[in-house]
Amino acid sequence: MSYAISLLLGVLGFIKQKSKFVMISLFLLLWILFGFNTSNADYMIYNLIYDGHYPNHEFGFMLLVNLFSNLGFTYQQFLISISLICYLILFRIINKYTIGTNYVIALYFIFPFMLDVVQIRNFIAMTIILLGIQYLLSDKKRATIKYIVAVLAASSIHYTSLFYLILVFARFKSWKKLLLTFSMISIVGATIAYTNIIPSAMGIIFESDKVTNWFQGRTRFGFLIPIIFQLISFGFVYYSHYKYRKTEQKKENDNNVYPNDRFKNVDVHQNKLLEIVFRINIVLLIAIPFYIFNVSFFRLFRNVLLLNYIVVTNGTLYYFKDKYERFIYKIAFSVYVISLLIYFIIQNNLHTVFIPILKFNSIFN
């Protein structure tokens, strides 16, 4: 039954972008599939961690585990509670920055929802990061400090979240200089990835065997696919930003007359998000050298995909005057997201991630 419901609500999410009923239904579906799941690739190991068998994890995550455990929660109840809290936060963010809520949720449901169900620490950390990124939209002096605090909180759940400290550069105004700078850093980083410079630096900075092990191996050509996916997503965001700039220019040239009725409805916060997410995508080019060590580092980019979904959705809602262009753009982006799903399914995730999440559930069984 979960297969049929998932397919139905996924399709409705694309068709009924603004329906509150569909939004609530999608929220319940995601929460049930996550919180009431009883088997997946990492389910048993997290269950053992919760029961105290593997206590050597990030202190923030262990703090959460001990809090719920001391309150008498079972591991399943812990999952139900944490997933509910995180999705309340994520849905609030989506609702705040777009009216095409259900389209964004449907895209997220396609990818990377299933991976989030398995990688619980990363999911919690991602939620905190996305919550913190909102501070980067603010011009207030303490906004950067608040963002850094959010990143540090996320890193107490998953070490890799420290990487997102680099996103403070997304507040830099000149996107062209930003693009030149981080493109060069990415190229240099990819070049030295085949030396011992990066592994040695990481070992000195973190003094952790776990972190050091992340940089011991090298991929052959597997890193090319994550790079292509990241650059394509950046291309969609860039085009949305380009259409926005073009619309703003036309408005200024026509004495602040809106070039189309759709643009009248755009919220100032949505424009600010577009600007910051565009720059975030530029800064995240620095993640590309990490894929050479391990393609699992793609999560560094994957964790902000939800923001890209919001920006692309807003692009189709506000900045595209031609309805055919808008339609083609949405179809192309949907195909891109489905391609991400297919790629991760063929990476031996079908029987360990995707099928178990839809098949093993205490509500649907």
Largest CA distance in the chain: 67
Contact present, 134 and 277 (Cβ < 8 Å): no
pTM of the entire predicted model: 0.94
Give residue 260's pLDDT: 59
Contact present, 121 and 45 (Cβ < 8 Å): no
Closest CA to 86 of 96, 78, 75, 76: 78
What angle is formed at CA 243 by the lines to CA 101 and CA 144, rounded to 5 degrees?
65
CB atoms within 10 A of CB 55: 9
* Token pair of 60 as six digits: 């923030």
CA 53 → CA 41, 44, 50, 58, distances in Å? 18, 11, 8, 14
Phi, psi of 361 (to 5 degrees): -150, 130
Question: Which residues are CB-neighbours of 264 under 8 A, at least 6 positions away?
Answer: 258
Give residue 1's pLDDT: 80
Phi, psi of 118 (to 5 degrees): -80, -45
Contact present, 215 and 199 (Cβ < 8 Å): yes
* Token pair of 152 as six digits: 């540090």
CA 318 → CA 24, 236, 311, 312, 313, distances in Å? 24, 15, 10, 10, 9
Mean pLDDT per block of 10 residues along the chain (365 residues) reads 92 94 97 97 95 88 96 97 98 95 97 97 98 93 94 95 96 93 95 84 70 75 92 97 87 62 73 96 96 92 97 90 88 97 90 93 90
CB atoms within 10 A of CB 199: 18
The three-class DSSP label of residue 37 is: strand
The three-class DSSP label of residue 294 is: coil
